[in-house]
Amino acid sequence: MNVQNYRKLIVNKLNQDFKSAVELVEIPIPKPADNELLIKNKFSGINGGFDTLICRGDVPYISLIPPFDLGVEAVGKVIAMGENVKDFQIGDAVITTARGGGYREYQVINANLVVKVREATPELLTLMPTGVSALVALEQVGEMKSNEVVLVTAAAGGTGHIAVQLAKLAGNHVIGTCSSEAKAKLLKELGCDRIINYRAENLNQVLKQEYPNGINLIFDCVGKTVFDTCVENLAVRGRLVVVGFISEYANNVEQITQPRLYHQLFWKAASVRGFLMPHYKEYMAEARDRLLNLFYTDKLKVAVDPTRFQGIESIPDAVEYLLSGQNCGKVVVRF
Ligand SMILES: NC(=O)c1ccc[n+]([C@@H]2O[C@H](COP(=O)([O-])OP(=O)(O)OC[C@H]3O[C@@H](n4cnc5c(N)ncnc54)[C@H](OP(=O)(O)O)[C@@H]3O)[C@@H](O)[C@H]2O)c1
């Protein structure tokens, strides 16, 4: 590759799965204009669910016409600056979360959108925007309190493992679901009170037997029958936050027929609420600063999945890996 050039992943044509939709292109490294920074990305966070939906054109709040850029969060170093940039220096470690800024080796971005960090490490990718989403979803949508029972599904994943700890820090009893012993071990280390490996135990049975009064707050990342079980086990005045429905992303949307949802909600005065980070932008900066502080003061442990994805060409495999459900912690790619 020409050293004046860099590579990025783009979507040239919408397609059902990420691998078929993306293309690797090589283009010249741009010069930063006024108020802009040129950043060399070192690590990027993988959001396999969102990535797949965006490649299909199934993200209703953004209508992107190909070709468009991919990836969101990246950690890197400032290597050049435009005129009028204040507060940054060449060599600064930074994190960015602009859509399109992740799956590329270099990015030019307005300095106002860049956050300075102590070191350019992959661990930071668990906090922004993943951890921020967990925090805002629990507090703003789930109205998280203390001394309640909180259930987190996909609890050992990138989003889930932060949600588990935030619910614990708020003083709740936390149940986490996962699919392997390695994930159960991580959840134990994070202080999860009841770990349900759904391959070894039946989620519905455990909830019914051990939590007869139901669950007060549910953070559901999985969807489908897990969502159904969650609704069934909500407590009186329980809140279920739909954070995602990853079990459906790799397939077509499932059509089901059953009594309307209000039959299950009404008699318990329970509620199901959707969460989408872009609709809660005003909470992002405070949530980000709080999470960074928790991380830097060792009150929040972060997990990066140990599987190594090296280079921009490994991103399609990393997306596939995340969708296979094997990951423990946040999936990241290294450049
Ligand atoms: N609403 C928002 O703004 C927002 C923001 C960030 C993330 N999210 C959502 O949060 C969820 C988690 O995202 P993430 O990027 O942090 O992923 P992740 O949790 O790191 O990885 C996905 C996990 O989902 C679990 N899973 C359960 N059933 C699955 C199935 N049928 N297929 C694949 N995986 C399955 C797997 O763990 P187990 O098998 O151990 O359960 C897997 O490790 C996704 O639904 C995502 O869309 C939403």
Ligand 1 within 6 A of CB of 195 = no
pLDDT score recorded for residue 2: 58
Q: What is the CATH number of the domain that holds 239?
A: 3.40.50.720
> Model's pTM, two decimal places?
0.97
Beta bridge mates, 151: 175, 218
Q: In whole angstroms, what is the distance from residue 114 CA to residue 50 CA?
A: 22
Separation of 161 CA from ligand 1 center, angstroms? Answer: 11
Residues 255 and 149 in one domain: yes
Residues 6+ away with beta carbon under 8 Å from 171: 146, 147
Residues 191 and 59 in one domain: no
Q: What is the CATH number of the domain that holds 109?
A: 3.90.180.10
Task: Give the residue whose CA is nearest to atom 18 of ligand 1.
Answer: 157
289 assigned to some structural domain? no
Span 60-74, pLDDT tens digits: 888 789 999 999 999
Span 228-271, pLDDT tens digits: 999 999 999 999 999 999 999 877 788 999 999 999 999 999 99
Residue 161 belongs to what domain range? 128-278
290 assigned to some structural domain? no
Domain total of the chain? 2
Separation of 246 CA from ligand 1 center, angstroms? Answer: 5
Secondary structure element (H or E) that encloses residue 319, with its range: helix 315-323
Task: Give the residue whose CA is nearest to atom 47 of ligand 1.
Answer: 244
Q: How far is CA 229 from CA 28, 103, 205, in A?
A: 51, 36, 10
Separation of 213 CA from ligand 1 center, angstroms? Answer: 27
Using the atom order of ligand 1, give the atom closest to the CA of residue 130: 6
Residues 207 and 236 in one domain: yes
* Residue of 197, 222, 304 to mutate, ligand 1, most atoms within 8 A of C-beta: 222
Residues 247 and 139 in one domain: yes
Beta bridge mates, 9: 24
Chain centroid offset of residue 185 CA = 21
**What three-state secondary structure class fits 52?**
helix
180 assigned to some structural domain? yes
Residues 11 and 73 in one domain: yes
172 assigned to some structural domain? yes
**What three-state secondary structure class fits 65?**
coil
* Residue of 159, 281, 288 to mutate, ligand 1, most atoms within 8 A of C-beta: 159
Residues 183 and 267 in one domain: yes
295 assigned to some structural domain? no
298 assigned to some structural domain? no
222 assigned to some structural domain? yes
Task: Give the residue whose CA is nearest to atom 11 of ligand 1.
Answer: 221
Q: In whole angstroms, what is the distance from residue 96 CA to residue 107 CA?
A: 10
Residues 177 and 261 in one domain: yes
Span 195-231, pLDDT tens digits: 999 999 999 999 999 999 999 999 999 999 999 999 9
Calculate Rg over the CA atoms of the chain.
20
Residues 166 and 198 in one domain: yes
Dihedral of alpha carbons 315, 321, 325, 328, sign:
negative
Residues 220 and 134 in one domain: yes
- 155 DSSP 8-state letter: T
Residues 137 and 262 in one domain: yes
The tokens 């519905």 sit on which residue? 204
Residues 95 and 145 in one domain: no
Examine residue 129 and say whether the peptide bond preceding it is cis (omega within 30 degrees of 0). Answer: yes
Ligand 1 within 6 A of CB of 244 = yes
287 assigned to some structural domain? no
